Amino acid sequence: MRDYTDERTPDDADEIWLCEHAPVYTLGQAGLDRHLLDAKGIPVVRCDRGGQATYHGPGQVVAYVLLDLRRARLYVREYVALLEEAVIGTLREFGIRGACRKPGAPGVFVPDPHGGPELAKIAALGIKVRNGRAYHGMSINVDMDLSPFLGINPCGYEGLRTVDMATCGVRADLSEVGHRLAARVVPEISSEGLCG
């Protein structure tokens, strides 16, 4: 991902890579060891994206968006909002209402399906920009073992509840969620969208 970003030319296409990871904690550039509470044998990887600690694992779709922000004529904040809105729209397609952005906390949140007073995080976002080109991306919790999130302070927030689409009552195919998410992002970064 970083190699592609560093080696690409101004004419190279923007890309979206969809995947599902084996269990791993990642600590972004702002990641503090104190937010890693109990790794329980899960590998911890430091990476160059923004943000704090998160968990990736089976049942979660990860979308790495490799985008030339200059060509797209996007500022970083606009780009982050575009990604968050793509997630919100995807969740809406699957019947999840009330998904929203939270000021000062990148990612997407939903009303707590357990009835708690706080919003619960359903999707994480972390990017890196080098030479006007963005990489890393976002993840949506589809149907996964959420217990590893208890081993960290997700995104640096103590006690932040993390949920998945299944917890919200929606059983969805991981591949279908990924493809619908990509379908919402691609027009925004293609020659027909902002890059045109």
Distances (CA, A) of 194 to 69, 74, 182: 10, 8, 15
Domain extent, residue 153, equals 1-182
Question: Total domain count for the chain?
Answer: 1
pLDDT level of residue 192 (50, 70, 90 thresholds): very low
Residue 19 belongs to a domain with what CATH number? Answer: 3.30.930.10
Query: Does 138 count as an annotated binding residue?
Result: yes
The Cα–Cα gap between 110 and 78 comes to 21
Structural domain contains residue 142: yes
Q: Which of 19, 47, 100, 155 is catalytic?
A: 155
Structural domain contains residue 50: yes
Query: Does 49 count as an annotated binding residue?
Result: yes
Structural domain contains residue 57: yes
Query: Does 126 count as an annotated binding residue?
Result: yes
Burial of 60 (0-12, 13-18, 19+ CB in 10 A): buried
**Section 26-53 average pLDDT:** 89
Structural domain contains residue 78: yes
Instruction: Please tell me the pTM assigned to this model.
Output: 0.92
Q: Give kind and range of the element (H or E) at residue 71.
A: helix 69-72
Structural domain contains residue 193: no
Query: Does 55 count as an annotated binding residue?
Result: yes
Highest mean predicted confidence (pLDDT) among 71-75, 86-90, 132-136, 182-186: 86-90
Structural domain contains residue 195: no
Structural domain contains residue 95: yes
Mark 11-32 as b/e (b = at least 16 C-beta within 10 Å): eeebebebebeebbbbbbeebe
Reading the block at residue 61, the tokens are 């779709």
Structural domain contains residue 119: yes
pLDDT at 189: 64
In the annotation, is 47 catalytic?
no
Burial of 140 (0-12, 13-18, 19+ CB in 10 A): buried
